[in-house]
């Protein structure tokens, strides 16, 4: 772990602790924050996958209005992503851990708007042994269970990098991977991390670094990932995710205004 990442994690956890002192958040604050973060999440995650809708246009689509000059596919991506977030929120409200069925359901929601794809008899239809997404996801979940990192955000970065490196489904896996990322962050007590469309170049570079040959040859649970004084191929991705998480935490603190406790003298 680089000194930059260490300092960033410390600042992120400091902001998280300040918000924890204010819980439960005022109803209006919680509602406003949820609407803002989910809108940004939908817009920017879709944008990273090629969608051209802006934040304002995404909001208009969610209100049921069609945007002239935009494709039907772009509109559906917004609606489906919103449904996927609701699915995640429902599972989190029930304190359900991530599992195979949840990943399959989220993939289908993003593709069709439904948890079960009516056009197929199951997730393995027309899939060979080498491309069967169920088998790939089983393997990914096993790797996820084997992860051992010094901080939840680092572990989230490792899982995110692994998932996108192995991409169990044909086509884009990025929107699904970012849903899974925030699923894990929420269960660890962190808010939504929104990677911005303007960060795409940095994001792609971090994913490329995480998928480098040396990161595939040694699992993230090895000494390299646990040694806090040694750089890891996942550090750049962890920094990007931590920055996105901290951005959300700062927005919540801003919404809390004078209600938010001041930083302690030990915080940067």
| Cα–Cα distance for residue pair 184/179, rounded to 1 Å | 9
- In-domain check, residue 122: no
- In-domain check, residue 40: yes
- In-domain check, residue 126: no
CB-based contacts of 78, cutoff 8 Å, min separation 6: 42, 43, 46, 51, 53, 58, 61, 62
- In-domain check, residue 263: no
Q: Which domain holds residue 175?
A: 3-116+131-257
Handedness of CA 90, 96, 98, 101 (dihedral sign): negative
Q: Which of 31, 66, 61 is nearest to 46 (CA)?
A: 61
Which tens digits make up the pLDDT trace of 114-145? 987 544 444 444 444 456 899 999 999 999 99
Supply the pTM of this predicted model: 0.87
Burial 122-159 (b: 16+ CB within 10 A, else e): ebeeebeeeebbeebbeebbebbeebebebbbbbbbbb
Q: CA-based diameter of the chain, in Å?
A: 60
State the pLDDT at residue 261: 62
Residue matched to tokens 């069709």: 112
Which portions of the chain are predicted below pLDDT 50?
118-129, 214-218, 221-228, 265-266, 268
Burial 205-235 (b: 16+ CB within 10 A, else e): ebbebbbeeebeeeebbeebbeeeeeebbbb
Which tens digits make up the pLDDT trace of 66-76? 999 999 999 99
State the pLDDT at residue 223: 43
State the pLDDT at residue 24: 86
> C-alpha angle with apex 181: 165 to 238, nearest 5 degrees?
70
How many independent structural domains does the chain possess? 1
- In-domain check, residue 60: yes
- In-domain check, residue 20: yes
- In-domain check, residue 27: yes
CATH code at position 196: 1.10.3290.10
State the pLDDT at residue 166: 94
- In-domain check, residue 146: yes
């Amino acid at each position: 772990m680089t000194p930059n990442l260490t300092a960033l994690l410390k600042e992120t956890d400091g902001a998280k602790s300040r918000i924890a002192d204010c819980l439960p958040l005022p109803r209006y604050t919680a509602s406003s924050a949820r609407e803002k973060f989910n809108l940004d999440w939908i817009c920017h995650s879709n944008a990273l996958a090629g969608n051209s809708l802006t934040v304002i246009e995404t909001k208009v689509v969610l209100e049921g209005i069609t945007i002239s000059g935009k494709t039907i596919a772009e509109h559906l991506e917004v609606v489906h992503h919103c449904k996927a977030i609701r699915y995640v929120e429902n599972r989190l409200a029930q304190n359900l851990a991530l599992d195979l069925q949840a990943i399959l359901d989220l993939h289908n929601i993003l593709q069709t708007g439904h948890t079960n794809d009516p056009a197929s008899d199951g997730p393995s239809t027309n899939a060979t042994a080498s491309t069967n997404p169920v088998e790939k996801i089983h393997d990914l979940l096993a790797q996820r269970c084997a992860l051992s990192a010094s901080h939840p955000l680092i572990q989230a970065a490792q899982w995110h990098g692994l998932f996108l490196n192995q991409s169990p489904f044909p086509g884009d896996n990025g929107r699904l991977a970012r849903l899974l990322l925030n699923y894990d962050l929420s269960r660890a007590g962190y808010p939504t991390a929104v990677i911005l469309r303007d960060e795409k170049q940095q994001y792609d570079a971090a994913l490329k670094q995480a998928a480098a040959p040396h990161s595939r040859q040694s699992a993230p649970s090895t000494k390299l990932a646990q040694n806090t004084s040694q750089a890891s191929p996942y550090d750049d991705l962890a920094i990007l995710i931590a920055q996105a998480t901290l951005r959300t935490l700062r927005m919540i603190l801003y919404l809390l205004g004078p209600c938010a406790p001041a930083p302690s003298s030990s915080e940067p």
